[in-house]
Amino acid sequence: MMNVTNIAIVGIVLSILVFGIKTGLGCGFANLRKHEIIMVCAVYMVICVIMGCLIGFLSMDSLGNISGIGITFHILLALLMIIAGIYTQKQWNCGCDVSRRTFIFLSLPCPICLSALFISCTMLASTLEWNGFIIGIIVGSIFFLSALSSSFIFRSLGKTPQTLGDLMMFIGIFYVLGAVLIPAYIQTKTIASPSFSIDIGATLISFVIFFIIIASGFIIHRGVEQ
Q: Can you tell me the mean pLDDT for 10-31?
A: 83
CB contact at 8 A, 166 and 25: no
CB contact at 8 A, 112 and 126: no
Q: How would residue 145 be classed by pLDDT, with cut points 50, 70 and 90? A: very high
* pLDDT tens digit sequence for 62-83: 555 555 555 667 778 888 888 8
Is the whole model's pTM more than 0.75, yes or no? no
Q: DSSP strand E in the chain: where?
A: none
* pLDDT tens digit sequence for 112-144: 677 777 777 777 777 777 788 888 888 889 889
CB contact at 8 A, 99 and 87: no
Q: Which residues contact 129 (CB under 8 A, 6 or more apart)?
A: none
Q: Which of 106, 129, 118 is nearest to 47 (CA)?
A: 118
* pLDDT tens digit sequence for 191-207: 444 444 444 455 555 55
Q: What ranges do the domains of the chain cover?
A: 4-225
Indicate if the pLDDT at residue 185 is higher than 60: no
Beta bridge partners of 55: 58
Higher pLDDT, 72 or 100: 100
